[in-house]
Structures are given as C-alpha cells and as structure tokens.
C-alpha cells in the first residue's frame, strides 16, 4: 500500500541516487555534453577577453582587465558605425524580400494542380540550398559577368552600358539580397507548403459555398492557416538581423565594395583574425550576439502576448 | 442511366461555368511565376556548364553562353592534372565520411537519454543545449579556443568543433519520443541495458531521422570551408571548397610544398572546377531529396 502511494507521487531523490540509478544514461550523455561544453560554452567563456587587453601569450587569466574600454572604442570607431549600418540595411532588405518570398512561393505552388510540374519546380528550387556559398558566388559572379552574363547582354542590346554588378557599390547590396533569395527561396518554402497542405479541405468548401473565389480563399483560408508558422519563422529570423551571413558576404566582397557591403562578421574577420585585435573584435561579437539574443526573446514575448503562437 | 448522364453533364457544366476569369488569372500567374523561378535557377547553372566546356575563343566572345556551341574539354583536362584539387577532394570525402558517422553516433547517443521523460535534470540539460542555438561566443573566442586546444593544422579541427548541432539533436530526440515506450519496457524486463535498447530497438526504428541528419551533416561537411580558412594553413589538409575559393578568387593555386608550379586558372578551368565540385551533389540529389524534405518537416514540429 505504501509502495503504491510512493509510486503515485513524484518523489524527489538525491543527486547521488539519480546518478547511480540512471548511470548508463548519463554515461551516454557524456560525449555530447562535453562537445557543447567545450565548443559552445568554451567560446562563451572566452568572451571575457572583451573586457580585457588580451595578450595571446598571457592567456585569459594573465591579461589585464580594462572594463568597457573596447565598447567605448567601438562606438567611436567610424568603421564600426558604417559596418553596423551596412549590416542593418542588408538585413532589412533581406527581411523585406527574402522572408516573404518563400511564403508567396508556397501559395503559388499550392495553386498549381499539375503534379509533375509542381514536383519539378520544387526539386529545381531546392537545389541551390545544397550548394556552398563558395560555389554560389562563383556561379552568380559568372552569371553577372559584364561580357557573358545574359542580363548584361540584354542591357547592351537595349543600348545601355553593361554593369559589373558585383563590383559596383550601387548594385552590391542588391546582389547580396538576390543571391540569398536565389539560394533560399525554394528550401524556405517547404515549411510553409507543409502547413498549406495540412489545411482542412472542408474549410475551402465552406468558403466556396459562401461564394469565395480563389484569391479570396487564399486570403481568408490559406493565409490564416499559415499565421502560426509565419510567426515562428519571423521570431527565428529576427535573431539574424545582426547575424549577417559571413559565408555569403565574404565570397562576394571586394575592396571596391567595402563601403556598402562590409558587414560585422567580415569586419571582425579582418580586424580580429588578420590584424589580431582580439579583444576589440570580441567586444564586437559580444555586442552583436547580445543584441541578437535580446531580439529573439523580445519578438517571442511580443508574439506570445499578441497571439498564441510563440517559439516557447 | 440517362438520368445519371444528365447529372454528369450538369456537374460538368457547373465545373465549366466555375472556371471564371479569376481562375485563369490565378492559374496564369501561378504557372508563370513558377516557370520564371525554375528558369532563373537553371540559367546560371547552364552558363557555368557551357563555359566549362567551351574553347577560349567562344568564352571570350561577347554574347549569350547558355548552350555550348563548340566543345573543348581542356579546362577539365587541366583541372584533372591539378594535384591540389584532387587532394582537397579526397580530404573533403574523408571528412564527410568520418564527420558524418561520428556526428550521427554522438547525436543519437545524446538524444536517447534526453528523450526519456523521467530522466532527472532533463529540463536543465535541454536548456543547456537549446541556449547554444541562440547564443554563441563568436568567431574570435572560438578561434582562440581552437588555437589553445592545439587543433590548428590538425585534421580533427574538421570533425570535433562541428560534431553535432543542437537542431539535429532535438529532431532526433523528438523522433525517439514518438517511439512507444512499451517496446523499451518489455526489453528492459528481459534484462536489456539502455545501450542495447538504443542500438537494438530504437536505431532500427529510426531510419528516416538517421538518414535525414546524416544528410545534413554530410552536406555541411561537403560545403564547409570557413574552418579551413581560419584554422588550417597546411596545404595538404585543404578541403575542396577552400581550394575552389582560391581558384575562383585568385585564379591560381600554388603548389605550397615546392612553390615551383603555379597553375594559372583560366575562366574555363574555374568553371570546370565548379562543375566537378557540384557533380556529387547533383548526382545524388534526386535520390536523397525526399529525406531532406522529410527531415525539414520533422524539424518544423516544435521541439
């Protein structure tokens, strides 16, 4: 009898009891936990050098503490301010164009009733996702070449000068945004397409009864069904506003486009790895990561308050 | 019989009447946009392939290069003699195989205990994992850490720092949680240890999710080059994408060991190298696509 009540209630057991009782499970966890501890939390501990004058030979324990010196230097650094501006502008364009594009694509694909064509379009659109940014930049730069690129040839045929898009500061951000779109639109649509196909067909029938045409059905049935997943994706995306894509920008960036295309991560790479200003660039990283983290928490909070869909 | 036919005709006529102007517009727009997208994605690939197999006279001429008119495979021939390229290809295959297999092993080993609802401290451990998905130390602290661990110029730097990802871990855990617990209970009554349960019962049932995360890890390893750029300076450890990058940006690869042969890469050779690096992805893609998509959908289920 007592055993049953003891089993019915969750009983708090001591640490040692837990460890010995679930020993094999915890042993299984060791390599994974060790990985996260060393390669994810290790660098987080390394963030303290943002508050130090770090000397590689002295290490973290031996380097002098300087407080917020590097953060003050950060905002007085004209390069950093322009880099921050570039990052924000590029992210804003990406959010404006690359975020809604997969949603629209999923709506478009949902309207296509010819299955072979739909499957074909999907397969083709997913392909660039599996190609590295090194290769994508190679392909795009070739495609935009002033002498061989189809766009430039069309421009020439229409009587304009051909443009070296990748090296032209005016077009560079456009190249970044559109190449990101080219790479990610198809893959991004998968999640939305799954949500679209999960919509209860009776909802469409009911809408049809009420005289809704296809556009009305998209607006009043499909889009509301997508709202939760759009919210979740938007929260995840908000964390990336400062987390520019190093892999992308680095492969397109040339000194002629630094003024418009140099972003936080490429700046950190140049100043940190190449010029060895470790403490200063760590301060940049800490600043960036903290803002990103706060943004995710904040958008999640707002999403939870305004509607019921949130990440956690 | 006749009545039924009438009925059918009636339905058909209703259907026909219902194909309004709106339908035509929506269909036209949908098919048109999808076709434009497909063309926009294929055209750059076509140009790369065409340039890679054209003679210099054609490549340097102004005009469209979307279909090859004259064939010349000298670009491929020259790349084929570039030992750096093939050595890096081998390194990439090696890291993809070792990295993927060890990554998958550690992922399932970590995911299994975390899928046990009654495991003490499970919530804390999950938070420990999830936090790393939203906050990281950044490039410089990681670089210094790797340096202090003496992983620079070491093949292990391609494996260890990107061993598993929090996202793959959570997806695997979610999949394990969907496996009915009775299977495990009965095995335990027969005296099976957790290790036996994991590898004897869970693993054979988890083929879809294992396939998915293997493909993710494999693609990651195939496409990565940043770890090479940051942590490796020895040319015999270079990976494919990094060598490709130096070919594309500098137009040449120097044989670092001897510094004697500097191979100049022409436009055709660059494109031939690109095509060669794409080949494995394009060849396996049609067969593997469904696993990628499936995994993406498993992943969209909240963790």
Which of the listed residues A62, A83, A102 is the one where a domain comes to its end? A62
pLDDT bracket for residue B295 (50, 70, 90)? low
Q: What is the reported pLDDT for B298?
A: 62
What's the average model confidence in pLDDT over A102-122?
Answer: 92
B-chain residues near A59 (CB < 8 A):
148
Q: B149-159: per-residue pLDDT in tens? A: 999 999 999 99
pLDDT bracket for residue B249 (50, 70, 90)? confident
**Interfacial A residues in 23-62 facing B (CB < 8 Å):** 24-26, 28-29, 31-33, 35-36, 38-47, 49, 54, 56, 59
Residue A18 lies in a domain: yes
Q: What is the reported pLDDT for B35?
A: 95
Q: Domain B76-300 in CATH: superfamily?
A: MetI-like (1.10.3720.10)
Residue-range domain boundaries for chain B = 2-72, 76-300
* Number of domains, chain A: 2
Whether A278 and B144 lie within 8 Å, measured CB to CB: yes
Is A281 in the B-facing interface, judged by CB distances under 8 Å? yes
Residue A2 lies in a domain: no
Q: Is the pLDDT of residue B250 over 90?
A: no
Do A26 and A108 have their domain in common?
Answer: no
Do A247 and A204 have their domain in common?
Answer: yes
How close B212 comes to chain A (CA, Å)?
14
pLDDT bracket for residue B255 (50, 70, 90)? very low
Range of the domain at A44: 14-62
* pLDDT-wise least confident of A2-6, B32-36, B140-144: A2-6
Q: What is the reported pLDDT for B8?
A: 57
Whether A112 and B297 lie within 8 Å, measured CB to CB: no
- End-to-end alpha-carbon separation of chain B, Å? 56
Q: B226-236: per-residue pLDDT in tens? A: 999 999 999 89
Q: How many residues does chain A have?
A: 312
Q: What is the reported pLDDT for B5?
A: 53
A164: domain CATH number is 1.10.3720.10
Residue A9 lies in a domain: no
Q: Is the pLDDT of residue A128 over 70?
A: yes
B-chain residues near A31 (CB < 8 A):
106, 109-110
Interface with chain A: mutation pick from B28, B31, B36, B141, highest number of A CBs within 10 Å: B141
How close A204 comes to chain B (CA, Å)?
15
Q: Is the pLDDT of residue A3 over 50?
A: no
Whether B132 and A105 lie within 8 Å, measured CB to CB: no
Side-chain-facing half-sphere of B239: CA atoms under 13 Å: 28
Do A76 and A40 have their domain in common?
Answer: no
- Cβ neighbours of B286 (radius 10 Å): 9
Is A198 in the B-facing interface, judged by CB distances under 8 Å? no
Q: What is the reported pLDDT for A7?
A: 46
Where helices occur in A47-168 by DSSP H, the ranges are: 59-62, 69-76, 78-97, 100-111, 115-126, 133-143, 150-157
What's the average model confidence in pLDDT over B16-24?
Answer: 73
Residue A277 lies in a domain: yes
Which residue did the predictor score with more confidence, A201 or B105?
B105
pLDDT bracket for residue B296 (50, 70, 90)? low
Do A26 and A107 have their domain in common?
Answer: no
Query: Which residues have C-beta within 8 Å of that of residue B83, sequence separation ≥ 6?
Result: B255
Q: A62-82: per-residue pLDDT in tens? A: 888 888 899 998 888 888 999
Q: Is the pLDDT of residue A310 over 80?
A: no
B-chain residues near A150 (CB < 8 A):
43, 47, 64, 66
Do A192 and A278 have their domain in common?
Answer: yes
Q: Is the pLDDT of residue B258 over 60?
A: no
pLDDT bracket for residue A105 (50, 70, 90)? very high
Query: Which residues have C-beta within 8 Å of that of residue A88, sequence separation ≥ 6?
Result: A241, A242
B199 contacts B138 by C-beta, under 8 angstroms: no
For chain A, what is the mean pLDDT? 87
Do A120 and A202 have their domain in common?
Answer: yes
d(CA B271, CA B74): 12
Whether B62 and A142 lie within 8 Å, measured CB to CB: no
Q: B69-86: per-residue pLDDT in tens? A: 888 888 888 888 888 889
Residue A149 lies in a domain: yes
d(CA A273, CA B228): 13
B-chain residues near A182 (CB < 8 A):
40-41, 44
What chain B residue is nearest to A287 in terms of C-alpha separation? B138
d(CA B172, CA B295): 10
At B24 the three-state DSSP class reads: helix
Q: What is the reported pLDDT for B126?
A: 92
Q: B177-192: per-residue pLDDT in tens? A: 888 888 888 888 888 8
Q: Is the pLDDT of residue A274 over 70?
A: yes
Do A168 and A21 have their domain in common?
Answer: no
Q: What is the reported pLDDT for A228?
A: 85
How close A1 comes to chain B (CA, Å)?
23
Do A148 and A254 have their domain in common?
Answer: yes
d(CA A125, CA B235): 35
Phi (first) and psi of residue A25, to 5 degrees: -65, -45
A110 contacts B201 by C-beta, under 8 angstroms: no
Q: What is the reported pLDDT for B16?
A: 52
């Amino acid at each position: 009898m007592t055993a049953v009540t003891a089993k019915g209630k969750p009983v708090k057991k001591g640490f040692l009891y837990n460890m010995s009782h679930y020993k094999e499970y915890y042993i299984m966890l060791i390599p994974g936990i060790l990985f996260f501890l060393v390669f994810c939390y290790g660098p987080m501990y390394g963030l303290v050098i943002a508050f130090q004058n770090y000397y590689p030979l002295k290490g973290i324990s031996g380097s002098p503490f300087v407080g917020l010196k590097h953060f003050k230097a950060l905002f007085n650094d004209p390069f950093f301010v322009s880099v921050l501006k570039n990052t924000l502008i590029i992210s804003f364009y990406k959010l404006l164009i690359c975020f809604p594009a997969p949603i629209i694509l999923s709506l478009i694909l949902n309207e296509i009733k010819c299955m072979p064509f739909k499957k074909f379009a999907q397969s083709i659109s997913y392909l660039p996702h599996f190609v590295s940014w090194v290769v994508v930049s190679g392909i795009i730069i070739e495609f935009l070449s002033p002498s061989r690129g189809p766009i430039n040839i069309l421009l020439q045929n229409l009587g304009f000068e051909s443009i070296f898009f990748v090296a032209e500061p005016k077009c560079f951000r456009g190249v970044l945004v559109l190449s990101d779109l080219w790479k990610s639109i198809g893959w991004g649509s998968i999640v939305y397409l799954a949500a679209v196909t999960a919509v209860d067909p009776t909802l469409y029938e009911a809408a049809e009864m009420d005289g809704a045409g296809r556009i009305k059905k998209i607006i009043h049935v499909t889009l509301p069904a997508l709202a939760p997943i759009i919210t979740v994706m938007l929260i995840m995306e908000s964390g990336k506003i400062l987390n520019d894509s190093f892999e992308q920008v680095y492969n397109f960036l040339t000194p002629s486009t630094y003024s418009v295309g140099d972003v936080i991560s490429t700046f950190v790479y140049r100043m940190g790895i190449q010029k060895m200003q470790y403490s200063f660039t760590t301060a940049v990283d800490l600043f960036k990561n903290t803002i990103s983290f706060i943004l995710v928490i904040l958008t999640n909070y707002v999403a939870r308050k305004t509607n019921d869909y949130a990440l956690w | 019989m006749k009545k039924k036919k009438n009925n059918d005709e009636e339905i058909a006529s209703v259907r026909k009447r219902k194909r309004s102007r709106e339908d035509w517009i929506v269909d036209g727009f949908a098919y048109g946009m999808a076709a434009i997208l497909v063309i926009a994605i294929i055209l750059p690939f076509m140009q790369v392939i065409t340039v890679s197999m054209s003679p210099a006279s054609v490549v340097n001429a102004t005009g469209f290069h979307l279909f090859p008119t004259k064939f010349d495979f000298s670009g491929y021939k020259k790349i084929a003699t570039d030992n750096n390229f093939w050595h890096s290809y081998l390194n990439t295959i090696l890291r993809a195989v070792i990295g993927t297999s060890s990554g998958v092993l550690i992922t399932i080993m970590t995911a299994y205990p975390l899928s046990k609802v009654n495991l003490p401290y499970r919530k804390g451990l999950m938070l420990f994992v999830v936090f790393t998905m939203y906050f990281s130390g950044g490039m410089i602290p990681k670089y210094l850490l790797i340096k202090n661990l003496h992983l620079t110029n070491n093949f292990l730097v391609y494996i260890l720092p990107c061993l598993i990802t929090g996202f793959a871990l959570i997806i695997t855990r979610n999949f394990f949680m969907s496996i009915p617990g009775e299977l495990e209970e009965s095995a335990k009554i027969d005296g099976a240890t957790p290790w036996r349960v994991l590898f004897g019962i869970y693993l054979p049932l988890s083929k879809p999710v294992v396939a998915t995360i293997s493909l993710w890890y494999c693609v990651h390893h195939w496409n990565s080059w940043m770890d090479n750029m940051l942590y490796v300076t020895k040319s015999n450890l270079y990976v494919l994408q990094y060598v490709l990058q130096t070919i594309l940006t500098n137009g040449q690869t120097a044989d670092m060991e001897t510094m004697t042969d500097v191979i100049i890469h022409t436009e055709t050779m660059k494109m031939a190298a690109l095509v060669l690096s794409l080949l494995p992805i394009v060849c396996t893609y049609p067969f593997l696509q469904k696993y990628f998509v499936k995994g993406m959908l498993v992943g969209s289920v909240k963790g």
